[in-house]
Chain A
C-alpha cells in the first residue's frame, strides 16, 4: 500500500465534504466507545486498576523483549511450530511465498491481520498466482471492493448498512435482504466453501505467550478458528512486540483487549494455539515474527511505549479527529491517534509529515488506552522531530522566531498587542495576508477589547493603593 499520509489534509477534506464516511464512522465509534466505558468500568477504581495491571504486563514484556522472544522461540518449536524471523516486510513476504511453494499452495484463506496489511502480503500472493480470500466479513467486503480497511478492528466502519447491502448485492449477487444478521448468514454460507477449499490458512496474532509457546487469537466471527484448523498448512505472522511473559499476563490482557475494542467482556472466540494437534487439524504450523522497523522504534526510548499497543482501536473510537475524517485520510494502514504515532515511526516523517499534527492534543486517546500509552506526549516529540529534521514550514518557523523575541520582552509584548489592536481597527485583517485567513473561513474572530487587561489592572491597582492611603 502506497503511503498517502502527506496528503492528510486533502484526504480529510474529501471525506468531510463527502459526508457519509464521517457519519458512519462517528456512529460506529460512538457506539464502540460507549460500550468500552461500561465494560472497562471507565473512571472507577476498578477500571483504573485493570488498566494499570495491563499496562504493567506490556511494559514488563517490552523491558525483557529479547529474552522473551528467545524463550518463545524455544517453547513454540517444542510445541511443533516452525519459527521464522523477518527483519523487513520483503523478508516476511518471501517467507510466506517460500512456504506456499514448498507445500504446493494455490488457495489461501486469511483471517484479519493488520501486520499483513502493513507488509502488503495479499499483493505478493496474488502476484505469485495464489488465490487469497479474506474471511473476516468486513475485510472480505473491502477485498471484493478493492478497498483498504479504515479501522484497526472494525475495518468497514466507514460504510453504512445500506452501503454494505448495496455492495453485497452488486459483488456477491445477494438478493435484497433487510436484516443485518440475515445478510451475515448469506455471507457465512459463501465463506464455508472458502474454508473447506483452502490449502493454507494465514492469520495475524494478538499475543504470543513466551512461557508456554502459545499463539493467541481473538476473533468474533470464528473465522480465525476455521483458518487455523481446516487448511493443511497454517502460517501466522505477528509483530515482535506482541509477546507477553506469562499466561497470567495474557489473562489480564485478554480481558482488556475486547473490553476496550468492542466493549465485550471476552471475544466470541478466544483461541490459544499450542501447536499441532494429534487428532486432525493443520499438518504444518509456521509462526513468523515480523520486525519491519519495530527494533528501530524500540531503540528510541521516547517511542518504545508505542510498541505496547494492543491494536484494540479504543483511541480511534474516542478521537474527535478520527471521528471527523475516518481512517483512510491517514493515508496508510494505521489510522487514528496510534496511527499518527506509528505510521511516522514505521515509514519515516518525510512520508508522513502531517500526521503528528493531526491532533488537537485533547488527551482522550491516552485516557482510554488500556495500557496507558502516552500518545499525546509522543505526538509532541514527533512534532519536535519534524522541526529538527527540517520538515517545518518556513513561514511558521520564521514567525516563531519573531514571536519568541516579542514574548521575551514585556515592552515589546505590550507594544505588539497595541499594534495588533490598531491594525485590526484599521481593517488590516482584510488586506494583510494573515495566518488566521483559513481559520476565519469557518469562524468569526471576536476582535480585541478597547482597553487591555494591563491598562485596566494599572488603573485598578492605583485606585486600590489610593484607597489604602
Chain B
C-alpha cells in the first residue's frame, strides 16, 4: 500500500534470475503487530490465514527481516500447544527467507551483475530483526557492494535501533522520537546521501523523521536500489 514498488522490485530481480514468482492473493499480514503487543489469539488467527495462503509454496521470500523473523521464530510459540499446526509452521519456517538472504545464502549469488545509471553512495542501516533474529550479516552489503556505480560508506551506530518498534512508536512516541533523533544525527553526519535498509518499517520511521526535519537525505529499501541497477544493466 505504501511501498508497492518494493514488492515489484523483488519480483523483477527474482524474475531476472529466472526464479518463478507467484504472489498468493490470499495472503494478508504475518500477525506480528498483534503478537508483539501481547494479543496472541488475534495473532494466531492471522497466522492461520498465512498458513492457508502459503500451503503450496516451495519457498517463501519477503523483503522484510521482521516478517521473516515472525514466521521463523514466533509461529512456533503461537502453536506450541497444537502439534499438527506446529509441524506445519515449522515446515513454513524452514522455507521462509528474507530477500537478500535468499539471494546470497539460498541461491548462492553474491554478484547480480547490476549497474546503477549514475554513481551513487550509500550507507546501511541494519534493521534489528534481520540483524539479530535472523543473523543476516552482510548479504545486503555484499549485493550492493558488487553493483557497479555503487559505493558503500559507513554509518555510525548502524546496528542501533531507529526507534520504530511497531506499536512502540505509537504508544511511546516521545521515547521513539528520542531514538529517532539520535539516528538522524548519525545519518546527517554520514557522507552518503542515501541510507539503505531491509525493512519498510524502519524506512518509514527514518524517512518520516528526515522529512519533518527538512533533510535532503532519504532511506531506501535495498530491493529498490538493486532493481534500479537492473535498468542500468539492461
Contact surface of A with B, Cβ cutoff 8 Å: 8-9, 12-13, 16, 22, 26, 320-321, 323-325, 354, 357-364, 366-367, 380, 382-388, 392, 396-397, 400-401, 403-404, 406-410, 413, 417, 420-421, 435-436, 438-439, 441-449, 451-457, 460-461
B163 with A320: CB separation less than 8 A = yes
A400 to chain B, nearest CB (A): 5
- 26 residue pairs of the A-B complex, CB under 8 angstroms, read A9-B171, A12-B174, A323-B182, A324-B179, A325-B175, A354-B172, A357-B171, A359-B168, A363-B132, A363-B133, A364-B160, A387-B37, A396-B167, A417-B1, A438-B173, A442-B180, A442-B208, A443-B180, A443-B212, A446-B211, A448-B2, A449-B5, A453-B4, A457-B7, A457-B11, A460-B8
B126 to chain A, nearest CB (A): 10
In Å, the complex CA distance between A456 and B24 comes to 14
In Å, the complex CA distance between A232 and B226 comes to 72
Identify A362's interface contact among B35, B128, B175, B178, CB under 8 A. B128
A324 with B182: CB separation less than 8 A = yes
List chain B residues, Cβ under 8 A from A445.
204, 208
Q: Which of B44-52, B101-109, B110-118 contacts A (4 or more CB under 8 A)?
A: B44-52
List chain B residues, Cβ under 8 A from A22.
178
Identify A385's interface contact among B38, B161, B179, B182, CB under 8 A. B38
A320 with B160: CB separation less than 8 A = yes
List chain B residues, Cβ under 8 A from A16.
174-175, 178
A358-B175, A384-B40 given; 4 more Cβ-contact pairs under 8 Å = A359-B165, A413-B29, A439-B170, A439-B173
List chain B residues, Cβ under 8 A from A452.
1, 4
B173 with A448: CB separation less than 8 A = no
Chain B stretch 18-45: residues in CB contact (< 8 A) with chain A: 23, 25-29, 31, 33-40, 42, 45
A438 with B170: CB separation less than 8 A = yes
List chain A residues, Cβ under 8 A from B161.
320, 360, 362, 364
A414 to chain B, nearest CB (A): 8
Chain B stretch 132-147: residues in CB contact (< 8 A) with chain A: 132-133
In Å, the complex CA distance between A366 and B128 comes to 12
Residue of A nearest to B206 (CB): A443
In Å, the complex CA distance between A361 and B37 comes to 11
For chain B, the count of residues having a C-beta within 8 Å of the partner chain is 64
Identify A364's interface contact among B5, B132, B176, CB under 8 A. B132
Given A380-B36, A460-B8, do A407 and B132 touch, yes or no (CB 8 Å)? no
Identify A360's interface contact among B45, B128, B207, CB under 8 A. B128
List chain B residues, Cβ under 8 A from A367.
132
Give me the 10 closest cross-chain CB pairs, A-B, nearest first.
A360-B165, A443-B208, A383-B38, A362-B161, A363-B132, A453-B4, A324-B178, A362-B128, A442-B177, A404-B42
A403 with B3: CB separation less than 8 A = no
Residue of B nearest to A384 (CB): B38
List chain A residues, Cβ under 8 A from B75.
none
Identify A457's interface contact among B23, B26, B38, B163, CB under 8 A. B23
Residue of A nearest to B132 (CB): A363
B207 to chain A, nearest CB (A): 6
List chain A residues, Cβ under 8 A from B26.
410
Is B164 interfacial (CB 8 A cutoff)?
yes
Is B169 interfacial (CB 8 A cutoff)?
yes
Is B193 interfacial (CB 8 A cutoff)?
no
Residue of B nearest to A421 (CB): B1
List chain B residues, Cβ under 8 A from A321.
175, 179
